Amino acid sequence: MRQLLRRAGFLAIGAISVLLLGLPGPLLAQSPADSPADMLMLRDWLPAEIQSLVANAYASTAPVRLDGNTLFWVSAPPAPDSDTAPARSAQQRAQIIQTQLYTLARTQPAVPLSVETPDASGSQAVIQAGDQFLMTVTPLDAQLSGMTTPEVRAGALTSIIRNALDRYQQERQPSFLWRQVKFAGAIFAGTLMLSIALASFKRPLKRRRKQLVETRQQLTTPAASDPPSPPTTALRERVVNQQQRRFNEIQRSLLNLAQAILWSTSAVWILGLFPYSRWLQTAILGSLHIPAQMLLVAGLAYAASRLSDVLIDRIFLTLEESARWAPERSQRLTLRFSTFSQVAKSIALTIILTIATATALAVLGIEIAPLLAGAGIIGIAISLASQSLIKDFINGFLILLEDQFGLGDVITVNQVTGLVENLNLRITQIRDTEGRLITVPNGQINMVQNLSKEWSQVDLQVTIAPSANINHAIAIFNQVAHDMSQDPDWQSLILEPPIMLGVDNLNHLGITLRLWIKTQPLQQWKVGRELRKRLKQAFDDSGIPIGIPQEMLQVQLSNREELKRVTKQFED
């Protein structure tokens, strides 16, 4: 494993080194004049509340691009409530300027740029390309860029436009394109190496997942030759196995996500290296603005839910280990911790989904406060219409608080007996002996019979023939039970010495003897089966017959000949 990690580290370092060494110098440098546009781009990713602090949130802005590169931003005042509207919107201004820039870049790339002020007040500045009008710089443009006057802003824009026109010509030279091809190859090679490194981490995780799945199957269906284990131990092993599988799933999901991000980022990066495809990079990044934030929210919610499951399991396992000082209570605490763990996970998931939903609505620009107010009113209406659901939650809370039953208990509720497999605030799921999963709403649970809380008991009744010696049969019965309670293989399952109650019933079947044995939770059936087997062997060795039904048949015959005929039939 260490060699694998070391090899992956070398691959990652080599790939990053290749990417950094192949990065061309001109792409690393940025002109100070680009800062206002970059700040506006950053502002565009911020929430609306923060945007109003950064700049005038009431003004509309639009980017001016050349070859997919954002050069600067232009603005326009918002349209008033009346029918009067500005001559052009920010988007229209940007489109006109872009068209003129492309025309200049293709026909007159070396044309001189100049700044003129039409009026003495300096309220506007005009940028000229030779004797051709290029654009007007307004006071709002200067304000949004953090400059004092339109003339100062126009001077900065002429420098930006000149650099952009020069770069337009430079990026179409064969030497530049060949250098970008080599750099794209370096990016692809580095991405491939990093992807191989990530794949090398995935292989041991897949093997580990296969081992955990096999272990889960063994815990679910243990082999007949395996020694019996206490139910709390088996439950604890299943919880640990589930925790390890979830952590393994988180690791594999993160690696898959890392590979997807790696290849998509590299592809978008390569598109931006060439002037002919950079527009596609800009379009992709622009279209991913909202979806990227939504995917980020969904990914964080998924990771938070999985990590909360692992954290809750670890907390309750730690609490369980700290309770081992009281062996008589530790088994029950194990079942309670498992139950509370399930409920805590469902509550944590609900909280995470609520926060994720509110965040997603905020990303989409939907006001949350009116929704919360409306949700309160709707919640009152729903609560009135769903009183049974509220009853389920209240009863589920009382079941947990009073420890009526928990995960791993065998209960009888509503004439249904089975093992509690799932329990939350709303429902209880029981698996019966035929494998059927029965779901019972907690509000319908009025009376519960818990067959496994703290301890269980074997209530064994055996009927012997009326002709058997009662005292001898009782002595054998009692001796077999005591011998079994002292057997090392069964001693740990039997809590107290057996109690012989004696003769419990007399009827036409025979004499019924009754005995109690107090056992560990859920072990009463196992102990009872073994005791019946031993008792049958002891009765057979002592010649004590098991009781059988007896009936008396009375026949009235009219003469002696008919009596002989019936007697002969019975003898045959």
Contacts of residues 500-507 at CB distance under 8 Å and 24 or more positions apart, as own/partner, are 500/474, 502/474, 503/470, 503/474, 504/461, 505/461, 505/463
Per-residue pLDDT band for 534 (boundaries 50, 70, 90) equals: very high
Q: What's the confidence (pLDDT) of residue 377?
A: 67
pLDDT above 60 for 290: yes
Which amino acid does the sequence have at 550? Q
Q: What is the rounded average pLDDT of the residues 496-521?
A: 89
Give the single-character DSSP code of 80. P
In DSSP notation, 140-189 reads HHHHHTT-SSHHHHHHHHHHHHHHHHHHHHHTTSHHHHHHHHHHHHHHHH
The set of residues, in sequence order, having a beta carbon less than 8 Å from that of 272 and lying 6+ positions away, is 68, 278, 281
Q: What's the confidence (pLDDT) of residue 48?
A: 45
Tell me how far apart the alpha carbons of residues 330 and 289 are, in angstroms, rounded to a whole number.
53
Q: What's the confidence (pLDDT) of residue 385?
A: 60
pLDDT above 80 for 334: no
Q: What is the rounded average pLDDT of the residues 375-396?
A: 73
In degrees to the nearest 10, what's the CA dihedral of 175, 181, 182, 186? 150
Indicate the range of 109-118, 376-385, 490-499 predicted with least confidence: 376-385
> How would you classify residue 122: left for phi > 0, otherwise alpha for psi between -120 and 50, otherwise beta?
left
Tell me how far apart the alpha carbons of residues 411 and 417 are, in angstroms, rounded to a whole number.
6
The set of residues, in sequence order, having a beta carbon less than 8 Å from that of 520 and lying 6+ positions away, is 230, 331, 455, 456, 492, 493, 494, 495
The tally of CA atoms less than 13 A away on the side-chain side of residue 434 is 3
pLDDT above 80 for 23: no
Indicate the range of 26-30, 456-460, 558-562 predicted with least confidence: 26-30
pLDDT above 70 for 123: yes
The 10s digit of each residue's pLDDT in 216-270 is 777 666 554 454 555 555 656 776 777 788 788 878 888 888 888 899 889 989 9
Q: Are 340 and 400 in contact (CB under 8 A)?
A: yes
Q: What's the confidence (pLDDT) of residue 245?
A: 82
Q: Where are the beta strands (DSSP E) in 403-529?
A: 410-413, 416-423, 427-431, 437-441, 448-450, 456-464, 499-507, 510-519
Q: What is the rounded average pLDDT of the residues 170-185?
A: 90
Structure tokens that stand for 491 in this block: 């001693």
Indicate the range of 166-170, 202-206, 234-238, 461-465 predicted with least confidence: 234-238
Tell me how far apart the alpha carbons of residues 207 and 214 are, in angstroms, rounded to a whole number.
11
Structure tokens that stand for 307 in this block: 């990590």
Q: What's the confidence (pLDDT) of residue 108?
A: 82
Tell me how far apart the alpha carbons of residues 367 and 364 are, in angstroms, rounded to a whole number.
9
Tell me how far apart the alpha carbons of residues 27 and 67 are, in angstroms, rounded to a whole number.
14
Q: What is the rounded average pLDDT of the residues 325-339?
A: 59
pLDDT above 80 for 372: no
Q: What's the confidence (pLDDT) of residue 46?
A: 46
Q: What percent of the chain has pLDDT over 70?
A: 74
pLDDT above 50 for 568: yes
Per-residue pLDDT band for 515 (boundaries 50, 70, 90) equals: very high
Q: What's the confidence (pLDDT) of residue 392?
A: 83
Structure tokens that stand for 204 in this block: 């041991």
Which amino acid does the sequence have at 422? N
In degrees to the nearest 10, what's the CA dihedral of 202, 206, 211, 215? 110
The set of residues, in sequence order, having a beta carbon less than 8 Å from that of 442 and lying 6+ positions away, is 391, 392, 393, 395, 396, 399, 425, 426, 427, 428
**Which is more confidently placed, 374 or 8?**
374
Q: What's the confidence (pLDDT) of residue 15?
A: 46
Q: What is the rounded average pLDDT of the residues 13-26?
A: 42
Q: What's the confidence (pLDDT) of residue 475?
A: 92
Q: What's the confidence (pLDDT) of residue 535?
A: 92
Tell me how far apart the alpha carbons of residues 462 and 380 are, in angstroms, rounded to a whole number.
60
- Percent of residues in the chain assigned helix, strand, coil, to nearest 5: 60, 15, 25
Q: What's the confidence (pLDDT) of residue 53?
A: 42
Identify the sign of the CA torsion 262, 267, 270, 275: negative
Q: What's the confidence (pLDDT) of residue 482?
A: 92
Q: Where are the beta strands (DSSP E) in 160-316?
A: none
pLDDT above 90 for 189: yes
Q: What percent of the chain has pLDDT over 90?
A: 9
Q: What's the confidence (pLDDT) of residue 239?
A: 66
φ/ψ of 128, rounded to 5, equals -110, 140
Q: What's the confidence (pLDDT) of residue 80?
A: 56
Distance of CA 450 to the CA centre of its chain: 32
The tally of CA atoms less than 13 A away on the side-chain side of residue 42 is 9
Element (H, E) at 27: helix 25-28
The 10s digit of each residue's pLDDT in 421-456 is 888 888 889 988 888 889 999 888 888 888 888 888
Burial (0-12, 13-18, 19+ Cβ within 10 Å), 157? buried
Tell me how far apart the alpha carbons of residues 218 and 215 are, in angstroms, rounded to a whole number.
5
Distance of CA 350 to the CA centre of its chain: 11
Element (H, E) at 117: none
Q: What's the confidence (pLDDT) of residue 434?
A: 84
What is the length of the chain?
A: 572
pLDDT above 60 for 387: yes
The 10s digit of each residue's pLDDT in 269-278 is 998 888 888 8
Q: What's the confidence (pLDDT) of residue 531?
A: 92
Which domains, from first to last, does the chain contain? 31-170 (no CATH), 456-542 (3.30.70.100)
Q: Are 359 and 297 in contact (CB under 8 A)?
A: yes
User: Rounded mean pLDDT of the chain?
Assistant: 77
